Copies of this chain bind each other. A is one copy, B any other.
């Protein structure tokens, strides 16, 4: 029997006043651009992180398993202590979460793509010529005219050919197959239920598709759409339940607020900058036990292949550390949800440099914080899903297992 670490934390959690701050630099880990070179984190001047390193213990966080590159969903679930191989967020639900749509229990979310079909209904372009957002968004909004008995329907534009549909009503489940045939010259597939509980969802989807075909008829590019990644709201136990923590998320982007909301964190403040995020942290310091602070730009620069930009963003992050230290958290964690090396312009599987500071962290001898140091750190390499048990123990919030 594989154990869920939450079975332990539910039983062993204890309460105190200790504050835990988890500062997540998205895509923190990197690679050298050239053989023998330095990574972004090694290149950046990070005096404040290095001071933390001298007081703390570091290691390499493996987001899912060695060699597995995670998306944002599993990357963050791991950091939050939810086994990313157990808790799967369906694509539709992640897409809805990413645009800030608050899914409710029983909702089914679907990621839709506008497509082009010919007179016979065969697909000629699976992405409607990558229709620009200015054209696609009004079309998506026009689909809000669709009305289905007994179901509330939400349609939300995303980018280019993408939009999200959410069905809200009784008896809807998400085990329905994609209608995208992944080919041109064929008709879209019919939605098919993979279990009896999803039969009603298929009826609703069929009715949506029928009305959408009418509403989009005559459009030059986007005259139909496919539906992918049908997904109910994932059922994640809350931070309060599994850890006994009042948790707050301080993020700029909807995706990370949404992921935090799925585990029961409160979204606090409406910060648009890192400074404003730390204003929110200080303001809400007394109201919560745990703070998740998300910094996006180490990932987005990495995805752009912008090595220097990522270095600058890391230095920006370093410069905020004194504001964190002023609050004197019992446990400070600096980590990332995965690596995003500029060299790869993509999420990667490499262990993420992770630093933990507390009065009982058993400091290792390291005095800098990066990919090269972390492999010699006292935390060794560990699966990200164990970071929260380490955080709780270092905060004195976890009792002994067994007598």
Q: List residues of A whose CB falls within 8 A of some B CB.
A: 1-3, 5, 8, 12, 31-32, 35-36, 39, 55, 60, 64-75, 84-86, 88-89, 91, 94-95, 341, 343-344, 346-351, 360, 362-365, 371-372, 375-382, 386, 388-394, 398-403
Contact = CB atoms under 8 A, between A and B. Distances in A.
Contacts of A36: 363
B360 A364 contact: no
Contacts of A392: 67
Contact of A360 (B31, B72, B89, B378): B31
A70 B400 contact: yes
Contact of A375 (B39, B377, B393): B377
A91 B31 contact: no
Given A71-B403, A347-B400, A375 B380 contact: yes
A102 to B, nearest CB: 18
Contacts of A91: 403
A391 B349 CA distance: 11
A389 B2 contact: no
A89 B402 CA distance: 8
Nearest to A8: B68
B382 A66 contact: yes
Given A5-B65, A71-B400, A89-B402, A362 B350 contact: yes
Nearest to A371: B362
B402 A73 contact: yes
Contacts of A376: 375-376
A21 to B, nearest CB: 17
A74 B68 CA distance: 23
Contact of A67 (B341, B363, B375, B390): B390
Contacts of A375: 364, 376-378, 380
A113 to B, nearest CB: 14
Nearest to A54: B36
28 contacts: A2-B3, A5-B65, A8-B68, A8-B85, A12-B68, A31-B360, A35-B55, A35-B363, A39-B362, A60-B380, A64-B401, A67-B388, A67-B390, A68-B398, A69-B400, A70-B402, A71-B402, A74-B401, A74-B402, A95-B403, A344-B360, A346-B400, A348-B393, A349-B389, A371-B378, A375-B380, A380-B380, A381-B381
A341 to B, nearest CB: 7
Q: Give the residue among A71, A84, A348, A360 with the most B Cβ atoms within 10 A.
A: A360
A85 B8 CA distance: 9
Given A8-B65, A66-B390, 14 more contacts: A1-B2, A8-B64, A31-B360, A32-B363, A60-B380, A66-B379, A67-B390, A67-B391, A67-B394, A70-B401, A70-B402, A349-B398, A376-B376, A380-B380
B344 A402 contact: no
Nearest to A365: B372
A1 B346 CA distance: 29
Contact of A66 (B95, B351, B386): B386
Contacts of A69: 393, 398-401
A73 B402 CA distance: 6
A73 B403 contact: yes
Contacts of A2: 1-3
A68 B393 contact: yes
A232 B45 CA distance: 60
Q: Give the residue among A74, A85, A86 with the most B Cβ atoms within 10 A.
A: A85
A377 B375 CA distance: 7
A50 to B, nearest CB: 15
A75 B391 CA distance: 21
A12 B86 CA distance: 17
